[in-house]
Structure 1
Amino acid sequence: MRERDDPAVVGRRVQQLRTERGLTQRQLAEPAYTPAYISTVEAGRVRPSDEALRHIAGRLGVAFEELAVGQPAHLATDLRLRLTEAQRVLADGRAEEAAGRYEALLAEAEGYGLVAEQAGALLGLGECALETGELTKARERFEGAERCLDGESLPVRVPALRGRAVSHYLAGELRYAVYLLESALDELNRGGLHDPDALLLLYASAIGPYMDMGAHARAAQAAELALALAPQAGDPALIARMHRSVARTLLAEGRLTEADASLAKAAELYRRLRLRTELANCHWMRGYVCAQNGELDRAEAELRQAYTMLSASRAALYRSQAAVELADVLHRRAKSDEAAALLREVLGDFSSERGAVHAAAAHRLLGIIAEDTRDTEAAEEHYVRALSLLERAGAAGDLADLCRLLGDLLRRTGRTEAALDAYRTGLGHRTAPGTTTLGPAPAQPPL
């Protein structure tokens, strides 16, 4: 419990409750105290002892905490239960309803000075904003949670820090996202703060930006360490998220069967936990695995399932990202008109500050579709826009391939010098794999 309020505040509280209950000062005082003592308490001229305050609370029929700090009995427990319920609503894909619940919880926790519960509500609001694609708002909420937890140990602060890193990652700020995650990993591992849940959350979150930056070796190492930590972790939702992230590195190494098995484990955990949006993301990743394996009919079915689930839960940014993957499969299945229509429909959900990597993928695919119809002017425009987005985000993993596409187009239209420039740019990215992160790899945990 926080420190007791000033005597004047406590006195006003006692007087208000006594008046509401229709009691006289004598009735409140008997049998242990005098009416004069109650009068001095209500006037704020004396600081009542804990024993006196417990007597007064008993006569008024309220908890000691309500008189001492204005906090109803069992409030913190009640708020924690309501935070859990709000998490269930968010997991069911109802982000807007969950946000309303978290806002009410935040106001209540702030009113009573319950810092841990404030941080929990802010974390929930950050996750809601990620779900709806409001990345600036998400970052502000996670920063607020970090401020609430400022005096806590790093493992306690990790969920808020990870949320902020994901906000930057989805906004296309890959280098800064990696910097935040690697700095926290270094501090945990070098400081001997071996917290399996915190480490697992950070390693799993680092895999996506590593892959997009072309740092495949570092992504593989993060996946290996995450798998080693999983048996020590206690949160099944976190383990499921780890399996989904690890699948990306397995795919990059061509280990499609293992990637599919990892996603199956994640999907089973998400079904058991009823985490709807995360389950949709599993369908999305399994569709990607099937596409890599040439099973285009199954890939289309999985991606359509993901797109439908994410549309129902109003997860705008994730829905648009899944749409890009679905459009790629539709194009490969000779359904280019449907693919182009889908891409144009969702392209407005992206920007250089919001989903930059997938925005670039959408422009790349629209460029390929334009080339198929011999509209070279439109194709070049899409490739150049994609290149600009990837360069700004630092997504070296896709830049080399895009430079090749643009170079081939320029060569076919007779612009040899411009084509050579595009090829050279691509080669520059191809020759430096894994060097796009900031500094050396983070320290490893003492597994």
Structure 2
Amino acid sequence: MDEPALIGHRVQRLRAERGLTQRQLAEPAYTPAYISTLEAGKVRPSETALRFLAERLGTSYEELATGRPAHLATELRLALAEARQELAGGAPGAVGEVAGRYRRLLAEAQRLRLDAEQAEALTGLGDCALETGELAEAISRFEEAERLLAAEPLPRRARPIRGRAVAHLLAGELRYACYLLESAIDELGASGLPDPEALVLLYAAVIGPYIDMGAHARAAHAAELALSLAPQVGDPALVAGMHRQVARTFLAEGRVADADASLAKAQSIYARLDLRTDLAHCHWMRGYVHAQNGRLALAEQELRTAREMLSARRAALYTAQVDVELADVLRRLGRHDEASALLAALLELELGLGDRRGAVHAGGAHRLLGLIAEERGETEAAEEHYVKALALLERSGATGDLADLCRLLGDLLRRTGRVEAAMDAYRTGLGHRATPGTTTLGPAPAAPASAAQASAAPASATPPPGHAPRRTPGAVG
């Protein structure tokens, strides 16, 4: 609500435009003296008084209290919703256009002093930055949105929190991504009024970093809770995203048929809604499922489809992640030159996957180049790639990947007669696999009351004994 002087001037102007006296405006609920005092700016009117006066003056409460015509706020919200849909299902190369639209809508929301709409526009700009791999920009936009919504209930802040966590995950900061998501989940549970849609959004997002850090039991529990809440969610795109992330936990448990069924559900929803980036992620995950089952030709087909769709959207980071998966399939098909060329191009991108924007995936690229070098008998080159991969991954917290690399390096060193160095590499790998809890995050979030039927999460989540699957695709729902 504006200051009393501004409201008073507004009431006086509208009354004069309509040819009403102070008495005609006031009766029967108020006195002419009250209207005179209000128009002079000497009293702050109550909401009840303003709603009465707005009806008498033929305007809206919002316009009388703030000077904003109600239709402007409605039109702005509609435009924001359209921009969000356009980003999700837009034509190839549309991200730049949508970002420009969000910037214009942000300026309009700022002019109208609408905090919620400013936050929505900022969240949209953050999503655009995620698509193009500008992670620092994404984090900044999501943080701005959170600041604007600081006084709002947590469900209103769930999207920018999730967005910021995804940006940190893509930057290789797995522990911090988990911290953001777990803190929000705990806060929702403690509020006593957990919001199903917000919880599904957050649980689906935390599955990825859990699996990358080797906390498979904790990831499975998050998936179980998300599935238990899904029937209460009305947003089909959110349900589809949840199914896509749950598929990752099925893969980690070796339940390939369940993973494929979950992906099929997500793919069906995304195709119906024309959400192209999300549909590309489903092709990506299905390619991974085929690769795990040795169906390499089908895996290549699905991954190339995903790559084409993501590249067309200029989703640079996601495209790079698919390139790593596709290169592994090409390597397993014996097409070493194609795989090496794909990985070399990936590492040369200006995107700089070796910096904080993609250390996990640059590490994956060097791991594959090391395997290819070994298969070609190029021992020195293989060792060099493994060492580079370890250096990239050590700051990420991806314990499963680190343990796998230590094993590969140890095997290589042992075969070349460097037994002591091999032992050191194996010990380092065992340390990554045996760290209690693996995530160093403390207790897992408490299950919300609305999902009490799900089993309690263990405080210390470790991978199944003797099972060290290669990291599943890092897309986040």
What TM-score, normalized by structure 1, do the two folds share? 0.88
Offset of residue 79 of structure 1: 0.8
Offset of residue 54 of structure 1: 6.1
Q: Is the 8 A contact 2:189 2:447 kept in 1?
A: yes
How much is the aligned-residue C-alpha RMSD, in angstroms? 2.7
Q: 2:410 aligns with which of 407, 410, 413?
A: 407
- The whole-number CA distance in structure 1 between the counterparts of 2:7 and 2:187 is 43
**What secondary structure is seen at the aligned counterpart in 2 of 1:436?**
coil
Q: 2:364 aligns with which of 361, 365, 373?
A: 361
Q: Is the 8 A contact 2:7 2:41 kept in 1?
A: no
Q: Is the 8 A contact 1:286 1:302 kept in 2?
A: yes
**What secondary structure is seen at the aligned counterpart in 1 of 2:394?**
helix
Q: 1:4 aligns with which of 2, 5, 19?
A: 2
* Percent identity for Structure 1 against Structure 2: 64
Give the equivalent residue in structure 1 for 2:28: none
Bigger shift: 415-424 or 357-366?
A: 415-424
Offset of residue 375 of structure 1: 2.4
Q: 1:440 aligns with which of 435, 438, 443?
A: 443
Note closer, same or farther for the CA distance 1:286–1:73 as it changes in structure 2 (3 Å cut): same
**What secondary structure is seen at the aligned counterpart in 2 of 1:393?**
coil
Question: Does residue 81 of structure 2 align to residue 78 of structure 1?
Answer: no
Note closer, same or farther for the CA distance 1:291–1:148 as it changes in structure 2 (3 Å cut): same
Give the equivalent residue in structure 2 for 1:38: none
- The whole-number CA distance in structure 1 between the counterparts of 2:55 and 2:158 is 43
**Matched ranges for 1:200-279 at <5 A:** 200-279=200-279
Q: Is the 8 A contact 1:10 1:67 kept in 2?
A: no
Q: Is the 8 A contact 2:10 2:64 kept in 1?
A: no
Aligned AA for 2:69?
P
- The whole-number CA distance in structure 2 between the counterparts of 1:161 and 1:31 is 50
Note closer, same or farther for the CA distance 1:54–1:235 as it changes in structure 2 (3 Å cut): closer
Offset of residue 31 of structure 1: 5.8
Higher relative contact order (CA 8 A, sep 6+): 2
Q: Is the 8 A contact 1:218 1:434 kept in 2?
A: no
**What secondary structure is seen at the aligned counterpart in 2 of 1:426?**
helix
Q: Is the 8 A contact 1:371 1:379 kept in 2?
A: yes
Q: Unmatched 5+ residue regions in structure 1?
A: 19-24, 35-40
Q: Is the 8 A contact 2:330 2:339 kept in 1?
A: yes
Note closer, same or farther for the CA distance 1:238–1:437 as it changes in structure 2 (3 Å cut): farther
- The whole-number CA distance in structure 2 between the counterparts of 1:104 and 1:436 is 41
**What secondary structure is seen at the aligned counterpart in 2 of 1:74?**
helix
Note closer, same or farther for the CA distance 1:73–1:200 as it changes in structure 2 (3 Å cut): closer
Give the equivalent residue in structure 1 for 2:26: none
Offset of residue 77 of structure 1: 0.9
Q: 1:386 aligns with which of 389, 410, 413?
A: 389
Give the equivalent residue in structure 2 for 1:196: 196
Aligned AA for 2:423?
L
Q: Unmatched 5+ residue regions in structure 2?
A: 24-35, 452-477
Offset of residue 307 of structure 1: 0.2
How many residues matched? 427
Note closer, same or farther for the CA distance 1:31–1:394 as it changes in structure 2 (3 Å cut): closer
Give the equivalent residue in structure 2 for 1:156: 156
Q: Is the 8 A contact 1:360 1:387 kept in 2?
A: yes
Question: Does residue 427 of structure 2 align to residue 424 of structure 1?
Answer: yes
Q: Is the 8 A contact 2:432 2:438 kept in 1?
A: no
Q: Is the 8 A contact 2:321 2:361 kept in 1?
A: yes
Question: Does residue 89 of structure 2 align to residue 92 of structure 1?
Answer: yes
Note closer, same or farther for the CA distance 1:108–1:5 as it changes in structure 2 (3 Å cut): farther
Give the equivalent residue in structure 2 for 1:372: 375
Cα-to-partner distance string for 1:383-422 (whole Å, 9 max, x where unaligned)? 1111112211010011111111111222233322221111
Note closer, same or farther for the CA distance 1:140–1:13 as it changes in structure 2 (3 Å cut): farther
Q: Is the 8 A contact 1:213 1:434 kept in 2?
A: no
Give the equivalent residue in structure 2 for 1:37: none
- The whole-number CA distance in structure 2 between the counterparts of 1:420 and 1:115 is 58
**What secondary structure is seen at the aligned counterpart in 1 of 2:334?**
coil
Offset of residue 84 of structure 1: 1.1
Note closer, same or farther for the CA distance 1:106–1:407 as it changes in structure 2 (3 Å cut): same
**Matched ranges for 1:14-413 at <5 A:** 28=17, 30=19, 32=21, 69-93=66-90, 94-347=94-347, 348=349, 349=351, 350-413=353-416
Offset of residue 183 of structure 1: 1.4
Aligned AA for 1:86?
A
What TM-score, normalized by structure 2, do the two folds share? 0.83
Q: Is the 8 A contact 1:166 1:205 kept in 2?
A: yes
- The whole-number CA distance in structure 2 between the counterparts of 1:305 and 1:243 is 20
Note closer, same or farther for the CA distance 1:8–1:233 as it changes in structure 2 (3 Å cut): closer
Offset of residue 428 of structure 1: 1.5
**What secondary structure is seen at the aligned counterpart in 2 of 1:158?**
helix
Aligned AA for 2:252?
A
Cα-to-partner distance string for 1:233-292 (whole Å, 9 max, x where unaligned)? 121111111111111111111111110010000001111111100000000000000000
Q: Is the 8 A contact 1:89 1:97 kept in 2?
A: no
Q: Is the 8 A contact 2:83 2:101 kept in 1?
A: yes
Note closer, same or farther for the CA distance 1:430–1:73 as it changes in structure 2 (3 Å cut): closer
Offset of residue 198 of structure 1: 1.1
